[in-house]
Amino acid sequence: MRKLKLQVQTTVDGYMAGPNSEMDWMKFPWTPDLETYIDALSKSVDCIVLGRKLAEGFIPTWASGPEGESQESIDWMNNTPKVVISNSLTESPWENATVAGGDLTEVVNRLKAQPGGDIIVYGGSTLVSSLIAADLIDELHLFVNPTAIGTGLPVFPGAGAYKRFRLVGTHPFECGITGMHYEPERS
């Protein structure tokens, strides 16, 4: 069965964006050691999962070939099939992306049961929190930026969603970001 991996940048206080989706707290430019780590993490991935709100900016941004990104990264992002989780869209307005709606657990379990490599989810916050709450993520790769913002869009679900994780590894990078690799503790 395919693994569902979460890759997300976060603040030290657990937010993946500010209250109005601000992301100006992220540490850039990435250093080569972080880029190498991300490349290795992506090697087994052949499907990207996004929430609708994130997809609306993410897919067009990569399609435009963002400045400062390598052509290899741009090609990988554009050529890797995407699944947009949405109950408001019925079809995809984007190339190389399909829409999947309905019960989140059923949708994700269908994706995991398909043949292929691993699946990576980048967000957004509502989707990520829902996936964590439903215990659907197999690996959490949190890239903790050395910034606290106090409020915003959380990575983890709110009250009543108690979860335990096992630390697999930590990776401090030259740019100041620390990679934290966790797996959920399942009974």
Report the chain (187 residues): mean pLDDT per 10 consecutive residues.
Answer: 96 94 90 94 96 93 91 94 94 93 96 97 92 95 97 84 92 97 92
Domains of the chain by start residue, with CATH: 4-184 (3.40.430.10)
Rounded to whole angstroms, how far apart are CA atoms 54 and 51? 6
pLDDT of residue 25: 94
pLDDT of residue 159: 62
pLDDT of residue 168: 98
First-to-final CA distance of the chain = 18
pLDDT of residue 48: 97
Sign of CA dihedral 33, 112, 82, 54: negative
pLDDT of residue 157: 82
Exposure b/e, 54-93, CB count within 10 A at least 16 = b? bbbebbeebeeeeeeeeeebeebbeebebbbbbeebeebe
CA neighbours closer than 13 Å in the CB half-sphere of residue 70: 9
pTM of the model: 0.93
Rounded to whole angstroms, how far apart are CA atoms 3 and 18? 29
pLDDT of residue 68: 85
